[in-house]
Amino acid sequence: MADTNMTSGSGFMDGMRRFFDGDIWYSFTRSPVTMVAAAITFLYFFMAAFGPLVAPHDPFDLASITLLDASLPPAWMEYGDPRFLLGTDIQGRDVLSAIIYGSRVSLLIGFASVILSLILGVGLGLISGFVGGAIDAFIMRVAEIQLSFPSILIALLINGVLRGVIELQNQADLAYAVLILSIGLSNWVQYARTVRGSTMVERNKEYVQAAHVIGIRPVLIMWRHILPNVLGPVLVIATIQLALAIIAEATLSFLGVGLPPTEPSLGTLIRVGNDYLFSGEWWITIFPGAALAILVLAVNLLGDWLRDALNPKLR
């Protein structure tokens, strides 16, 4: 793969070649666990992106749902129906399709909230570390206060406040935004602290002083010089935080303050299925639960590998 790109001189191909020749790709090929995790993560992304094309049924198409199919067990069990591989729920919806649509929602909210907390955390951390003084003290005290509560509690708090502000008839429409905001705002601290630390190191390096001597505006020094040099660890945190954000969303949905059952995420599916666990229809909640666990595990393993691969001391 690398060889065919050798002759091409374009920047993108150059970058690709460097990537495949580089240490990171090498360490990737040396870690079977990571390769499996990457494959699973990729599978989820693929399902999320092409959900409607991949799913065997449309769980939201009321016309295709009949109560006759309700509560069917997985296909390999007695009374199982080959049309519904993982069985159906109490309303006759295909559990597999619901999982595919649900992980789509979970990933969307996970990504969006990670991006929100990343922008917020990196921005505040950069300002905090670069400017220092009273602004730094203020931002860091806020961060420490927030850090002294469990982040799911913060997310619940923000969620509650936002729901209180929004009018009732709009709540269903804004459920996504509320979730993204509450998870995003509860997770920025880790980015801010990491970025602040590396910014304080970079700020005193001579290349930053050289930029000051040239007379570059401080905002531009932060943006052009320091930011690219502090983003490495952020990438690792973001990967691990993606898993945490997906869990946070599932937790909120499980507690009933997340997405409504009409637009189920994995967390909503688990909550709804939970009611039928003891009446024997275990598949309604176990399969979404397993899907969530596998997704989070895969993303986490990927994050762990990335952390080690980017750490020069472990090479």
Positions that interact with another protein (CB under 8 A): 205-207, 209-217, 225, 228-229
Of 74, 57, 75, nearest in space to 66 by CA = 57
From the CB of residue 166, how many other CB atoms can be counted at a distance below 10 Å?
Answer: 15
> In the complex with another protein, which residue's Cβ is closer, 208 or 270?
208
Minimum distance, C-beta of residue 211 to another protein, in the bound complex (Å) = 7
**DSSP for residue 94:** B
- Cβ atoms 166, 193 nearer than 8 A: no
Cα 90 to chain centroid distance, Å, stands at 30
Minimum distance, C-beta of residue 27 to another protein, in the bound complex (Å) = 19
> In the complex with another protein, which residue's Cβ is closer, 21 or 61?
21
For the record, the structure tokens of 260 come out as: 């409504």
What element of type H or E holds 151? helix 151-165
For the record, the structure tokens of 90 come out as: 């109490």
Minimum distance, C-beta of residue 74 to another protein, in the bound complex (Å) = 52
> In the complex with another protein, which residue's Cβ is closer, 1 or 214?
214
Farthest CA pair distance, the chain: 78
Minimum distance, C-beta of residue 189 to another protein, in the bound complex (Å) = 23
> In the complex with another protein, which residue's Cβ is closer, 150 or 232?
232
Q: From its phi and psi, is residue 133 left (phi > 0), alpha (psi between -120 and 50) or beta? A: left
> In the complex with another protein, which residue's Cβ is closer, 83 or 224?
224
The Cα–Cα gap between 26 and 34 comes to 12
Minimum distance, C-beta of residue 230 to another protein, in the bound complex (Å) = 10
> In the complex with another protein, which residue's Cβ is closer, 32 or 133?
133
The Cα–Cα gap between 152 and 141 comes to 19
Minimum distance, C-beta of residue 295 to another protein, in the bound complex (Å) = 33
The Cα–Cα gap between 306 and 311 comes to 8
Minimum distance, C-beta of residue 155 to another protein, in the bound complex (Å) = 34
Q: Is 91 exposed, middle or buried (0-12, 13-18, 19+ CB in 10 A)?
A: middle
- Cβ atoms 295, 106 nearer than 8 A: yes
> In the complex with another protein, which residue's Cβ is closer, 152 or 208?
208
Minimum distance, C-beta of residue 123 to another protein, in the bound complex (Å) = 19
> In the complex with another protein, which residue's Cβ is closer, 91 or 229?
229
Bridge-partner residues for 94, per DSSP? 88
